[in-house]
Amino acid sequence: MMSHYQSEALKILFSAVVRQNVTPEVWNWLNDKSAQTNNSQQFNIAFVSVPRKTGKSLIRVTEEQEKSLRKEGAGLSIALWTIDRLCRVWLLANADSTDKAQYFQTIENLFLAAEVNELVALYSALPVLAYPEMWSKRCAEGIRSNIGGALEAIMCNNPYPAAYLNEQAWNQLVLKAFFTEKPVEQIIGLEARANAELTKTLSDYAHERWAAHRTVNPQIWRCTGKFIDKDIFPDMERLAQSENILDREAAALACSESHYPPAQELLNKLPGIKSAITSGELNWNVLAEKIKNHVLQS
């Protein structure tokens, strides 16, 4: 597992952002409602009512606040959140958790009854809920959802999955992100949680797409470098011979992370790309931007 984010620090930062985005009346209302976790019905009503109190405009967050959130949240970003989403997350973060069973049931009931925007807020709140280990099954279940907004709330700029999902659920998240064409570069811990089983799964997925004459996102190989072996290496050879420069760059980046001798030899056969990697001109984030631009131009 990755090092955990700082949930208590996140709560403090969230509070500062909320206060600068709502009126004093709304701030007082939120504080009053956060204390009503022991009354599930009242807390549910408050959670559902948030947009009527706050509106749904994008939040104002300073560059310094976003930087602090990324630091304490292991990469978390709220820059594109709406004010109702933020306030719902704040409400959940500050709910009274003294009675563990009552707290769990109150939030579980919200999950069971949630509409799309409420689900987005609930999954966004995972990093600041009390008893974090208790929500891993709920997170894993969310990955099986076909609701785009809910999936993005789990997958993108959210430190919880990398910190608490087991390997099987984590691998499912990464595969689902590629399958649903989510911005995988926004998955926190993508490289840190790479594993041999995930490498095999992604290779199999790539082979299925190739067999169907479909394109493969070059970022699939972002998780494979450390696990290149005799079974994965032929994929690297195929990419290195591709007419698509993005494929060749992905092969070189993966091979640059490998200790498998044939992978190092293949990297040496791509001297221009190897030089760009060595100089820092090319890395996975740069490649992600190139892929994004290529898609926009297509």
pLDDT digit of tens for each residue in the chain (298 aa)?
Answer: 454 678 888 899 999 999 999 999 999 999 988 877 677 788 899 999 999 999 999 999 999 999 999 999 888 999 999 999 999 999 999 988 899 999 999 999 999 999 999 999 999 999 999 999 999 999 999 999 999 999 999 999 999 999 999 999 999 999 999 999 999 999 999 999 999 999 999 999 999 999 999 999 999 999 999 999 999 999 999 999 999 999 999 999 999 999 999 999 999 999 999 999 999 999 999 999 999 887 666 5
Instruction: Give the whole-angstrom CA distance, residue 79 versus residue 128.
Output: 17
- DSSP states along 76-108: ---TT-BHHHHHHHHHHHTS--SSHHHHHHHHH
- DSSP states along 43-87: HHHHHHHHHHHH-SPBPP--HHHHHHHHHHTTT---TT-BHHHHH
Instruction: Give the whole-angstrom CA distance, residue 230 versus residue 262.
Output: 9
Cα dihedral 12/18/24/28 (nearest 10): -60
SS3 214: coil
- Measure Cα distances from 136 to 2, 75, 143, 172 in Å: 14, 19, 11, 13
Number of helices and strands (H, E) in the chain?
17, 0
The residue extents of the domains of the chain are: 1-184, 194-298
15: Cβ contacts below 8 Å, ≥ 6 apart: 90, 94
Query: 82 - beta bridge partners?
Result: 58
Instruction: Give the whole-angstrom CA distance, residue 79 versus residue 173.
Output: 23
Q: What share of the chain is helix, strand, coil (3-state, %, to 5)?
A: 70, 0, 30
* pLDDT the model gives residue 296: 62
* pLDDT the model gives residue 215: 93
Instruction: Give the whole-angstrom CA distance, residue 125 versus residue 11.
Output: 10
Where do we find the tokens 């700082």? 6
Look up residue 5 and give its DSSP letter.
P
- Measure Cα distances from 264 to 1, 237, 268 in Å: 28, 12, 6
In 3D space, the residue among 227, 216, 230 whose CA is nearest the CA of residue 255 turns out to be 227
* pLDDT the model gives residue 297: 63
CA 14 distance to own-chain centroid: 18
